[in-house]
């Protein structure tokens, strides 16, 4: 399924036309999701575009990441000006909001949280790699503690290189258990 909007529509269709327990479970899941995320039935049926205030962490390029995540969901629809990622200044602080459907907003929230978590980890990893590559640490005789070690051994560097080649982060759509 492409996004949560389609997923919610399919759950709604199952809740309306399913058989027996399948129908009851779909109705219950749909109701729980709609209550949890404050979505009305007409939001699922129609493509109503709303404004949603969002919190973007004060972290290196987090706003650009949020914009890219939204673009990955709504695609070319941002070009018509109806949907998109916006910011403004209020009392010296930057505020953010997005315009999209409720279902797209649910998908945005899940993906942005996921990618922001991994983005922070990757930035920290890059910082450590940069320090190691440029050997930006004091000579052993100037360390605070005798045992303190700032550099990695060749074996540790090989292990990190292999780990970098194996690791991949991929977002997969999923249905949360909202009970």
Residue 89 inside a domain? The answer is yes
The reported pLDDT for the residue numbered 29 is 78
CA triplet 97, 99, 104: central angle to 5 degrees?
Answer: 110
Are 126 and 133 in contact by the 8 Å Cβ rule? The answer is: no
Partners of residue 86 on adjacent β-strands: 97
Residue 178 inside a domain? The answer is no
The reported pLDDT for the residue numbered 114 is 92
Residue 177 inside a domain? The answer is no
Residue 101 inside a domain? The answer is yes
pTM value surpassing 0.75:
no
The reported pLDDT for the residue numbered 1 is 34
Q: Per the structure, how many domains does the chain have? A: 1
Query: What values do phi and psi take at 77, rounded to 5?
Result: -60, -20
Residue 90 inside a domain? The answer is yes
Residue 37 inside a domain? The answer is yes
Residue 134 inside a domain? The answer is no
Residue 31 inside a domain? The answer is yes
Neighbouring residues of 116: CB distance < 8 A, sequence distance ≥ 6: 57, 59, 62, 65
The reported pLDDT for the residue numbered 151 is 65
The reported pLDDT for the residue numbered 118 is 92
Ordered mean pLDDT values, 10 residues apiece, the chain (179 residues) = 60 68 76 74 70 88 90 78 79 85 85 92 83 73 64 72 68 66
In which domain, by residue range, is 47 found? 4-127
């Amino acid at each position: 399924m492409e996004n949560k909007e389609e997923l919610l529509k399919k759950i709604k269709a199952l809740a309306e036309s399913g058989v027996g327990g399948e129908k009851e479970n779909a109705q219950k899941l749909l109701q729980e999701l709609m209550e949890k995320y404050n979505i009305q039935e007409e939001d699922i049926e129609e493509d109503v575009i709303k404004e949603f205030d969002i919190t973007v962490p004060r972290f290196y390029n987090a706003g650009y990441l949020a914009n890219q995540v939204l673009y990955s969901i709504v695609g070319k629809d941002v070009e018509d000006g109806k949907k998109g990622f916006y910011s403004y200044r209020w009392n010296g602080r930057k505020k953010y909001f997005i315009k999209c459907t409720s279902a797209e907003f649910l998908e945005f929230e899940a993906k942005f949280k996921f990618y922001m978590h991994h983005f922070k980890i990757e930035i920290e990893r890059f910082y450590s790699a940069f320090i190691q590559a440029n050997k930006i640490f004091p000579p052993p005789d100037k360390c605070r503690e005798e045992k303190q070690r700032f550099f990695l051994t060749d074996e540790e560097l090989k292990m990190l290189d292999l780990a970098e080649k194996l690791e991949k982060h991929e977002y997969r759509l999923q249905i949360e258990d909202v009970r």
